[in-house]
Structure 1
């Protein structure tokens, strides 16, 4: 048995069960009992190193178990740090963490993680992930370690010291040509997603806004009246219809920005698609019986529940394949197509910004610069002129 001193603590290292055990006297606890810090190892020097590391953790307030690793820190963050986020965001974070964080860097002990480790990990992903995905996986690690810091599990957040590298170029959003748009509308007629596609393409609403739209936000203007009333009360026997784009599937149901809250008059084809969709949904509700869960949603599952974004993407790919334009399109490109077609038809950028719910025309120009052209008029009447009766598909 040999005596040792580490900092202000005295102790001993002694042989035990084929190895060595080290113990430091930490004084007495509030209960009056003697407190001791122990570490075991195969050799005396190994035990001494472990005791020194334990003293550093003790003096800096770190409370993590010796083998607490990055993967456990990320799992803890996924369990406790995602509260209040919308479902799609949570699913995305869990997917990225499960594919690119936990399997690749998760086994490293959190207290042993170095900035170089983080840099090498990100560099290894740079050849396969887009810049946006790289920023997200880096953010997952930074937030997980930040939570561990708050719980005194680690001293520094080394992930904050590393700059996210540039990833692969992501596929830029595209816009349907007018002929492609008409083909998609034709192909969508036999799909449960028909009204979703028509409304999205002819109004330019975001996919998250479409999936959150409720029937009491679809309104009609009664003849001779200035006000708008929900179609759930007044039905579809009117000439003018509009939608209140006031909700989204984001956290708390808010739209992307305050300016995104807007009211849009519906083109005739979109209003007619919603009328037929309302009738089909009523029949579907009867068939579902007790399985129906009424959320008041315009676009929902066969049992009334909110649509899953992945299911919408799959259904839309079937439509574009049927339309003869391939399966590489996504529902968000209906919005890009709306901007392109409105611009081609003479709608000014200021009006397009209002229709899309952008904070300013500058945002519209930045996001949709490839789809915009110089212009003159506006909105629902243009869509009617382009897609109305008598226009060939």
Structure 2
């Protein structure tokens, strides 16, 4: 029997030449437990023994779970993720990313054997596959969230993903329309049933879900204002109206005069549509609806917009381009970035300033020109 150091149990050399040590402890219920650790050398056993003792003293599990990462992810999806207060659309996204990107790559690794280097290798693999920086960051977020619950439940001593730096996202100028392109788009959507929707998004910078969730009770045409209180999205449970994700997203947006006139005309047409389909009309109080008053399917709206954008000669343009364009026009007109932040519902000034930094040089040039005009040099 080897001599033991302070805080260690007895370390024995076995008949086959290996070493072992027995550890006694009480679990969270006060039950006496024993665990034996083994190693090829006395030093290896001593290290394992100390690790086990540290785990007990810190409240961590004495041994990491042997289940696979894939098995844990499925358990996390059906329990902790489902029970979280995240929006249903976010739950659906996280579940899809876990099953599509995490299970096929690191799913076979035992949960207790997952290391920070495995997480880093995952990031490298996804970059090599050509995924965008934002997608890779979200995949990392999903993994870290799932492993955090595993550590909380005592299946892991610590979260290996927490030791890995969050993947960076390369900043790119927000794609936006020039004034000439915006004019071409306005001509292309003229007369379309969704014309008012697209015009309003370009005029206000509303997100797609925010625009589709607008109720007439949210719009005050005489005051020229609209309130953003809801967002509409397609989830695994169908179309859902949810509150915006952040407090900043709940906001009041001023309406340009042209948008007010467009909405008045739209309201008149909708009332006529309602009268013509009185027997089938389903009243939801929504500003933008199908021919029978039901909410519009977000994917169908996007498809229709892409067709109209192609008609205008614009490729690679999405509904979110309208939001970026609205912000760019406001900034180019001299609107303060703080005002644009509140207009768009960004959670911070820094986000707005970073996304629309491309507008800065033009504003600086205009400022320099105004200074040149203001003084006699």
Tell me the TM-score normalised to structure 2 length: 0.68
- The alignment yields a C-alpha RMSD, in angstroms, of 4.5
SS in 2 for 1:81: helix
SS in 1 for 2:319: coil
Q: Which of 312, 315, 324 is residue 313 of structure 2 equivalent to?
A: 324
**How far did 1:324 drift?**
1.7
Please state if 1:81 is matched with 2:85: no
| Shift in CA distance, 305/358, structure 1 to aligned 2, threshold 3 Å | same
**How far did 1:186 drift?**
2.7
| Shift in CA distance, 281/160, structure 1 to aligned 2, threshold 3 Å | farther
**How far did 1:312 drift?**
3.4
Aligned to 1:339: 327
Aligned to 1:150: 152
SS in 2 for 1:244: strand
Aligned to 2:109: 108
SS in 1 for 2:70: helix
**How far did 1:158 drift?**
0.9
Q: 1:216-265 deviations in whole A, cap 9, x for unaligned? A: 112232xxxxxx5xxxxxxxxxxxx4322344459961464438512413
Q: 1:343-388 deviations in whole A, cap 9, x for unaligned? A: 45x4433654554455787654432222454379xxxxxxxxxxxx
**How far did 1:303 drift?**
6.2
| Shift in CA distance, 270/203, structure 1 to aligned 2, threshold 3 Å | farther
Please state if 1:93 is matched with 2:81: no
Please state if 1:70 is matched with 2:69: yes
Please state if 1:176 is matched with 2:165: no
Aligned to 2:262: 270
Aligned to 1:298: 287
Aligned to 1:162: 164
**How far did 1:311 drift?**
3.8
**How far did 1:76 drift?**
2.6
**How far did 1:342 drift?**
3.8
- Asked whether the 8 Å contact 2:227–2:253 carries over to 1, the reply is yes
SS in 2 for 1:262: strand
| Shift in CA distance, 299/108, structure 1 to aligned 2, threshold 3 Å | farther
Alpha-carbon distance between aligned partners in 2 of 1:162 and 1:103, rounded to the nearest angstrom: 20
Tell me the TM-score normalised to structure 1 length: 0.65
Alpha-carbon distance between aligned partners in 2 of 1:179 and 1:325, rounded to the nearest angstrom: 11
Aligned to 1:258: 248
SS in 2 for 1:243: strand
Length, aligned pairs only: 322
Aligned to 2:238: none
Alpha-carbon distance between aligned partners in 1 of 2:276 and 2:34, rounded to the nearest angstrom: 68
- Asked whether the 8 Å contact 1:188–1:194 carries over to 2, the reply is yes
**How far did 1:146 drift?**
0.7
**How far did 1:145 drift?**
0.8
Aligned to 1:20: none
- Asked whether the 8 Å contact 1:246–1:261 carries over to 2, the reply is yes
- Asked whether the 8 Å contact 1:71–1:105 carries over to 2, the reply is yes
Alpha-carbon distance between aligned partners in 2 of 1:113 and 1:173, rounded to the nearest angstrom: 37
Which stretch of structure 1 is more off in the superposition, 142-151 or 170-179? 170-179
- Asked whether the 8 Å contact 2:212–2:232 carries over to 1, the reply is yes
Q: 1:310-348 deviations in whole A, cap 9, x for unaligned? A: 44333321221122212x11211112212333445x443
Alpha-carbon distance between aligned partners in 2 of 1:162 and 1:261, rounded to the nearest angstrom: 36
| Shift in CA distance, 285/136, structure 1 to aligned 2, threshold 3 Å | farther
- Asked whether the 8 Å contact 2:340–2:352 carries over to 1, the reply is yes
| Shift in CA distance, 119/357, structure 1 to aligned 2, threshold 3 Å | closer
**How far did 1:71 drift?**
1.6
| Shift in CA distance, 358/99, structure 1 to aligned 2, threshold 3 Å | closer
Aligned to 2:225: 242
Instruction: Give 5+ residue unaligned stretches, structure 2.
Output: 1-8, 11-21, 234-240, 368-377
Alpha-carbon distance between aligned partners in 2 of 1:352 and 1:66, rounded to the nearest angstrom: 49
**How far did 1:85 drift?**
1.8
